Structure 1
Amino acid sequence: MSESTSGSERITAAQFHRSPGVTDWRVTDTGPQAVFTARSLAHAASLVAPVVAAAERCGVLADIDVRPEGVVVRIPHRDWDGIPAAATDLAASVSQAAAELGLTADPSRAQSVGIYIAQHSEADTRPFFMAALGYEGFGETDAVDPLRCGPHLAFNPIAGDKPGRGRSHLDIFVPADQARARVEAALAAGGRLVDDSRAPDWWTLASPDNHGIDIAAWTDVVG
């Protein structure tokens, strides 16, 4: 993919991370994001205007989540084609503004959550979940909240499945430099390691009563 920062060019997560000024940022399943801690709601909100200005200048849409504890800025995936190349300029500008405002970056808090819904190979439950949640289709197999507040849903058939049986588990996407610590914390809290054959891309864990969770970091290093 091109390294250009103009037009409709797309870059990978690895290319994004090699760009200058983006050390505050991590790429999860929903796209690049940065978390900045704040002293108050007003302090967190002070970053909104600089983010809007940078987004308009770069031609890249951004989501801003303002809380008293801090502000989360995301550059969401709107298709499967990768990260807009101009996102690197936006990210660097936001980080500079945050530093000038005294907001502290905390990359360890970046994450996104997805729900993996496994279904019988002859069933299609996506329309049901889209209707119940008010979601819309994303590609041919996924569904998303139009406002990008709820978790991303992925629908895939079960291998060796049985009719009438559905299974679901959570996908927790975290920064690559935080994944192993998150796995260790979950295990220390009573979890069980089910499969680490794809680590460090992802680990499959189970809760004490056998609820499944994948802790994944591959989106932060791909390409």
Structure 2
Amino acid sequence: MGESTNEPQTISGAEFRRAPGVSDWRVTASGPQAVYTASSFGDAARLVVPVIAAAERHGILPDADVRPEGVVVRIPDRDFTGIPAAAAPFAAEVSRAAAELELTPDPSLVQSVGIYVAQHSEADARPFFLAALGYDSLGDTDAVDPLRRSPQLAFNPINGDAPARGRTHFDVYVPADQAQARVDAALAAGGRLADGSNPPFWWSLASPDNHGVDIAPWADATD
């Protein structure tokens, strides 16, 4: 009779960041991610074969987005279960392959975007957005592009707000070491700090005409 290894099925963002060989990677709300710049579409595409091999070896289902400017590799959280324990050795193997191919990691390009649809507590806008965007339900409150190309949506009630009014803001998930620069750039571009009580986990900004954007490094900043 075999013995249980008691190995964890998932790890925290902090545990992922402490793993060896993952310095190219950052953790956003949608999971760990790395961006490697390249000089051509062909150079970027060369990373795909090693990504496939590492994915099969470690049992990971990654996303790889190949562009002429580079390749984005993500380990998506598809169902709110968290980061799989095998993500760290997978990420380290991808990083080694990228280095061998002379692809340059650029953490400043790592980000994921979410849209928070704030709605009256008696309304349910999710069925409309599922139909209009061709999205799938995710959990009890979210909606997701089935191919994870477009921003994830979350639907949050506003108690006491006007019944016919919907409000929406963007969440921009960036690495913790890039957050202040992104905030500073948005403020320099005419934005204002709408709520400064939550840094370093997120900054709530508003555009000159009051559209909301949260710069949110919490997934990469939380131990």
Q: Note whether the superposition's TM-score is higher than 0.5.
A: yes
Residue 168 of structure 2: aligned partner: 168
Cα distance in 2 for partners of 1:144, 1:81 equals 15
Matched, 1:43 2:8: no
Residue 31 of structure 1: aligned partner: 31
CA offsets 1:53-77 (integer angstroms, 9 cap, x no match)? 0000000000000001100000000
Cα distance in 2 for partners of 1:71, 1:150 equals 17
Equivalences for residues 143-162 of structure 1 within 5 A = 143-162=143-162
Question: How many residue pairs are counted as aligned between the two chains?
Answer: 219
Residue 120 of structure 1: aligned partner: 120
Please say if residues 6 and 85 of structure 1, whose CA atoms lie closer than 8 Å, have aligned partners that are also in contact.
no
Cα distance in 2 for partners of 1:52, 1:176 equals 28
Residue 73 of structure 1: aligned partner: 73
Cα distance in 1 for partners of 2:120, 2:152 equals 20
Equivalences for residues 4-15 of structure 1 within 5 A = 9-15=9-15
Cα distance in 2 for partners of 1:62, 1:187 equals 34
Q: Aligned AA for 1:161?
A: D
Give the C-alpha shift of residue 208 in structure 1. 1.1
Cα distance in 2 for partners of 1:105, 1:117 equals 33
Residue 64 of structure 1: aligned partner: 64
Q: Aligned AA for 1:167?
A: R
Q: Aligned AA for 1:105?
A: P
Cα distance in 1 for partners of 2:196, 2:212 equals 13
Cα distance in 2 for partners of 1:204, 1:64 equals 30
Please say if residues 200 and 221 of structure 2, whose CA atoms lie closer than 8 Å, have aligned partners that are also in contact.
no
Residue 111 of structure 1: aligned partner: 111
Give the C-alpha shift of residue 221 in structure 1. 2.9
Give the C-alpha shift of residue 222 in structure 1. 3.0
Matched, 1:191 2:158: no
Cα distance in 1 for partners of 2:102, 2:7 equals 32
Residue 85 of structure 1: aligned partner: 85
Give the C-alpha shift of residue 21 in structure 1. 0.3
SS at match of 1:73: strand
Residue 97 of structure 2: aligned partner: 97
Q: Aligned AA for 1:10?
A: T
Task: State the Cα RMSD in Å.
Answer: 1.4
Give the C-alpha shift of residue 34 in structure 1. 0.1
Residue 52 of structure 1: aligned partner: 52
Please say if residues 120 and 164 of structure 1, whose CA atoms lie closer than 8 Å, have aligned partners that are also in contact.
yes
SS at match of 2:118: strand
Consecutive unaligned residues in structure 2, runs of 5 or more: none
CA offsets 1:164-218 (integer angstroms, 9 cap, x no match)? 1100011000001111110000000111110110011001111111111000010
Give the C-alpha shift of residue 80 in structure 1. 1.6
Over 3 Å counting, the alpha-carbon distance change for 1:6 and 1:92 in structure 2 is farther
Consecutive unaligned residues in structure 1, runs of 5 or more: none
SS at match of 1:123: coil
CA offsets 1:30-56 (integer angstroms, 9 cap, x no match)? 110000000100000000000000000
Please say if residues 191 and 206 of structure 1, whose CA atoms lie closer than 8 Å, have aligned partners that are also in contact.
yes
SS at match of 1:180: helix
SS at match of 2:129: helix
Please say if residues 22 and 91 of structure 1, whose CA atoms lie closer than 8 Å, have aligned partners that are also in contact.
yes
TM-score of the superposed pair, with normalisation by structure 1: 0.95
Give the C-alpha shift of residue 15 in structure 1. 0.6
SS at match of 2:52: helix
Please say if residues 114 and 171 of structure 1, whose CA atoms lie closer than 8 Å, have aligned partners that are also in contact.
yes
